[in-house]
Amino acid sequence: MFSKKCPECKKILLKDVFVDSQGNKNPRGKYCVDCKEKKDRELCERHFNGLLYAEKEYMKKYQIMFGDTWKTKAPPNIFLLTLFMELHSCPYCGKSFKIDQNSKDYFKIRDEYHIDHMNPLNLGGEDSLLNAVCVCKNCNLKKSDQHFDVWLKTLSNQQRVIAEKIYIEKLGYPPIQFVPSEPTPRSSGLRYELLLDIEDIIKMKNNGQIY
Ligand SMILES: [Zn+2]
Ligand SMILES: [Zn+2]
């Protein structure tokens, strides 16, 4: 018995194209290597879509809690995928996000991309969605705590225009106008209201219980 049937593609294949649950070659594995990869991709995508859906729910809840100013209240660290989907490439170096947007692998995205506070927290920048952008890890590490106006000068002409445009669109003023101040504390995790149903948040809002 050198061959067996893959339950996914229904093909009779040589046993040496079968892999185990970790993706390693194994004649006793359930699926052929192609089907295993396809299944993994589908699982990744479902995971990604589930997390993106959760972020959208959080946004709705922030909007209910704070109305038009919700973006200034929402900490960016719970919106990685939303910020990732917002752009097609790193605003600082131009590296394409496209490959990853197709693969939708949350863990890969989390490892390779960072949320950058355009006005650094250490210079008193807001810990808010308005002040945040998804960038490649390299650029985030290079930028560190530099004032955005100083950082812009290190970028290529093309990226400088793009990055400055994003900054102005989000924050509503040119980078030169940002005046550094005392460091901003990082927000500490999830607000418990985000775990409630929307109706309960509306009730709390109407009772003046949300600050
Ligand atoms: Zn197969
Ligand atoms: Zn970059």
Record the pTM.
0.87
| Residue range(s) of every CATH 1.10.30 domain in the chain | 76-186
Q: Count the residues in the chain.
A: 211
- The rounded Å distance from CA 89 to ligand 2 centre is 8
Strand extents, DSSP E, the chain: 3-5, 12-14, 18-19, 31-32, 113-117, 132-136
- The rounded Å distance from CA 14 to ligand 1 centre is 11
pLDDT tens digits for range 50-102 = 999 999 999 999 999 999 999 999 999 999 999 999 999 999 999 998 766 66
The Cα 103–Cα 184 span in angstroms is: 35
* Topology annotation, domain 76-186: DNA Binding (I), subunit A (1.10.30)
Beta-carbon neighbours within 5 Å of ion ligand 2:
90, 92-93, 136, 139
Ordered DSSP codes for 150-174: HHHTTS-HHHHHHHHHHHHHHHSS-
pLDDT tens digits for range 10-62 = 999 999 999 999 999 999 999 999 999 999 999 999 999 999 999 999 999 99
The Cα 65–Cα 86 span in angstroms is: 23
- pLDDT for the residue 39: 94
With a pLDDT cut of 90, the percent of the chain lying above it is: 89
CB atoms within 10 A of CB 31: 22
Tokens (6 digits) for 101: 């947007």
What is residue 180's three-state secondary structure? Answer: coil
Beta-carbon neighbours within 5 Å of ion ligand 1:
6, 8-9, 32, 35
AA letter at 127: D
- The rounded Å distance from CA 114 to ligand 2 centre is 10
- The rounded Å distance from CA 93 to ligand 2 centre is 4
Answer whether 115's CB lies under 8 Å from 84's CB. Answer: no
